[in-house]
Structures are given as C-alpha cells and as structure tokens.
Chain A
Amino acid sequence: DTEVTQTPKHLVMGMTNKKSLKCEQHMGHRAMYWYKQKAKKPPELMFVYSYEKLSINESVPSRFSPECPNSSLLNLHLHALQPEDSALYLCASSQESLAGGYTDTQYFGPGTRLTVL
C-alpha cells in the first residue's frame, strides 16, 4: 500500500476563517511533507517533519501552522490567509534513504484545492 490520503479535497475559506488540512499515511514512513503548488508550476516545499519533529520550515508565513500528532498524521492549520494563498496543497511521505537519514522516493496525496476569498 503506497497511499497517502488528504482531506478535504476542496476547501473554500474567507480571510478571517480558521481551517485545517489533514494528511494520513500508513506506510510506516517517518518523514512527512507539505507542499504548495500553483497552477502550471512544480510543487514548492513548505515544511518537513522527521520522526514527528519539524525538520525544515522554508520560511513559510506564520498563518500556516503545521502539526504532526503522530507518525501517521500531519495537519496544516490555516488562519488569516490571503487570496494569494489559494493553491493546491500537497502532502507527501517518504522512508529514509538507503544511505540513512535522508529522503528517498516521496509518495504524494491527491491534494487539497484551497480557495481563499
């Protein structure tokens, strides 16, 4: 099973709303990722969790707040977003590479299409 699930599939929110995106994987992967993807562009890394600890924050604005409650779950809490934050948000997970400690093949979820009004 190489499945990563994401909910919701679509989300429309106002600039004053608080919402959360959820991601789940049961592959035993210890690294989990959030990406943002704008139309016709490659995904851009936002956050990396390794062994449930935040490993990388790519200078993401504080209105995005990640959380890793356990090794299978990853959340992205959203608050006071701007219209330019509208995008496809992708979750991914990976094992450590054979070299140890670093990422190998990443498996992506279907994404959440976020629209900020």
Chain B
Amino acid sequence: TQLLEQSPQFLSIQEGENLTVYCNSSSVFSSLQWYRQEPGEGPVLLVTVVTGGEVKKLKRLTFQFGDARKDSSLHITAAQPGDTGLYLCAGPVSGTYKYIFGTGTRLKVLA
C-alpha cells in the first residue's frame, strides 16, 4: 500500500521566516504534486515533479523531488500571511486511476 506522510502536521511562524515541509513514502512515485488549499475551497495545484532530483521554483516556493522518487520537499522563503493554508502532497497510485494524498501540513503565517 502506498502512503504519503507529511511533516510537520502544523506550523505557526512569523512573517519573514523560512520553512520546509516534507512528504515521505516508502514507495516510488511516477510523479508527485503539491497543492495549497484554503478552508472551504478546492486544492489548488502548485507544482508537479516528475524526475528524480528535480528542483522547481515558483517565486518564493522551492520544490524538490528525491533522487529515488520516494520523497519530496517544499521550502518557502520569507513566508507571508498569504501563504497560510493547508499544504497537501499527492501522487498517483501505480497502475491505477487512484490518487493518494499526504496527511497535510497546516501552515499559519503571522503578520
């Protein structure tokens, strides 16, 4: 069974601080996605990583896919209150149309 564990579960930081969120599995994924979700809204896709070792940047967000394609990280530089939300990693279950989600990281950035 493929599982995605995220850490930390909760994070409360001051504006301007840096942070890293981790998404780990014992299984290999063909790709991983990161989403941000606000309360009562659908998850919004931030990035898809496909190649082992890949690094993608989206403004102050840096995403990395592990060399073995079993883990990923999201680093936010100089966090802002607008970054507040639930961050979810997710990925396709091999050989199916299923998609599994990580356990989620709830981020709160205080002004």
- A residues whose Cβ falls under 8 Å from a Cβ of B: 2, 4, 6, 31, 33, 40-43, 45, 48, 50, 55-56, 88, 90, 92, 94, 97, 99, 102-111, 113
B24 adjacent to chain A (CB < 8 Å): no
Contact B43 A108 (CB under 8 A): yes
Number of B residues, CB within 8 Å of A: 26
A12 to B31, CA, bound (A): 37
Minimum Cβ distance to chain B for residue A75 (Å): 17
**Contact string, B7-42, partner A, CB cutoff 8 A, digits 1/0?**
000000000000000000000001101010000111
Report how many A-B pairs have Cβ atoms within 8 Å.
70
Secondary structure class of chain A's binding surface, majority of residues: strand
Which residue of A has the minimal Cβ distance to B48? A105
Whether B59 sits at the interface, judged by CB under 8 Å, is no
Whether the pair A102, B42 counts as a contact (CB closer than 8 A) is: no
- B92 contacts partner chain A, Cβ-Cβ < 8 Å: yes
Q: List 17 A-B contacts (CB under 8 A).
A: A31-B97, A40-B86, A40-B106, A41-B104, A42-B103, A42-B104, A48-B97, A55-B97, A88-B40, A90-B43, A99-B30, A102-B96, A102-B97, A104-B31, A105-B45, A107-B45, A108-B35
A105 touching B41 by the CB < 8 A rule? no
- Tell me which residues across on chain A come within 8 A of B103, comparing CB atoms: 42
Binary A-proximity of B69-111 (CB < 8 A = 1, otherwise 0): 0000000000000000010101010111111011110100000
Among A2, A50, A103, find the residue whose CB has the most chain B CB atoms closer than 10 A.
A103
A10 — nearest CB in chain B belongs to which residue?
B40
What are the residues of chain B within 8 A of A88 when measuring CB–CB? 40, 42
Q: A12 to chain B: closest CB distance in Å?
A: 14
Q: Assess whether A97 is in contact with B96, with CB atoms less than 8 Å apart.
A: no
**Chain A nearest Cβ from B76, distance in angstroms:** 20
Known: A33-B99, A103-B92. A97 touches B30 (CB 8 A): yes
Chain A residues contacting B31 (CB-CB under 8 Å) are 97, 104-105
Report the separation of the CA atoms of residues A32 and B35 in the bound assembly, to the nearest whole angstrom: 18
CB distance from B13 to the nearest CB of A (A): 19
